[in-house]
Structure 1
Amino acid sequence: MPKLVRLYIRSVAIGFGLSALFLGGLLALDVAGLRHLMLESGSGWLAGAMIFLFSGSVFAGVQFAIAIMAMADTDDTPRGGLRQHAVPVPVPVAAQPRRRR
């Protein structure tokens, strides 16, 4: 299996693991009465499944993005070409006094 596919599968697994922790935290802390709503309602399992799936897809995408960005090479060579540094030259400007109205 290609390395990128393994990286993606690992990122998805980590993302959905974080999603399970997130849902468990929401239910354990009873944020906004969510635990009561999910346990007392007949379709509370659907709400739990939706929170798990949607937050899992977000967490998996973020995890994959972080993993891809961490793969970047650090280039320590100087950049910018052969620019010559300009030396500022003072330019005298004659100012006229303002007239009061």
Structure 2
Amino acid sequence: MPPLVRFLLVHAAIGFVIAFVFVGGFLLADIGGMRTLMLASDIGFVAMALFTFMTGLTFSSVQMGVAVMLLGEPEDNQPPSSRWLRRIWEAAREWLAPPLERVPASIKKNR
């Protein structure tokens, strides 16, 4: 199987797994009475299957799109997974930094 097809299939599967977790939480929380309606209906299984499939289709499309957009050009010899994980880690550290660390050095000197 070509590497790009395998890449897209893996990320589509990741999206479907995320969708299954989302639908499970959605039905567990009984948001909008959906679980109650599905259990009370005689075609509730069809509704649940259709809801899960459509949510999985959406989540897998988003996951594949994000994965393709994060490919970019290789900056160094690290594998692609470590590059995007490093970017996420750096963005999270910057966002969670205490306010004093976010202040530019030129402003810190004036204090």
Q: Under a length normalisation based on structure 1, what TM-score does the superposition of the two structures give?
A: 0.69
Distance in structure 1 (CA, Å) of the matches to 2:39 and 2:7:
36
Look up the match of 1:49: 49
3-state SS, counterpart of residue 54 of structure 2: helix
Identity of aligned residues (%): 39
Distance (Å, rounded) in 2 between the aligned partners of 1:50 and 1:33: 17
SS at match of 1:71: coil
The residue aligned with 2:27 is 27
The one-letter amino acid paired with 2:59 is F
User: In the alignment, which residue of structure 1 is the partner of 2:66?
Assistant: 66
Task: Indicate the residue corresponding to 1:11 in structure 2.
Answer: 11
Q: Quick one: distance in 2 between partners of 1:42 and 1:12?
A: 31
Q: Higher relative contact order by CA 8 Å / sep ≥ 6: 1 or 2?
A: 1
Residue correspondences, number: 75
Q: Kindly report structure 1 stretches of 4+ aligned residues shifted beyond 2 Å.
A: none
For structure 1, the 5+ residue unaligned runs are: 76-101
Structure 1: how far apart are the matches of 2:24 and 2:34?
Answer: 11
TM-score, length-scaled by structure 2: 0.63
**CA-atom RMSD in angstroms:** 1.4
Q: Distance in 2 between matches of 1:47 and 1:7?
A: 31
Q: In the TM superposition, what is the alpha-carbon distance from 1:55 to its structure 2 partner?
A: 0.9
Match of 1:91 in 2: none
Distance in 1 separating the partners of 2:51 and 2:7: 24
Alignment match, 2:99: none
**CA distance in structure 2 between the partners assigned to 1:4 and 1:27 by the alignment:** 34
Q: Output the amino acid matched with 2:34.
A: L
How far 1:60 moved relative to its partner? 0.6
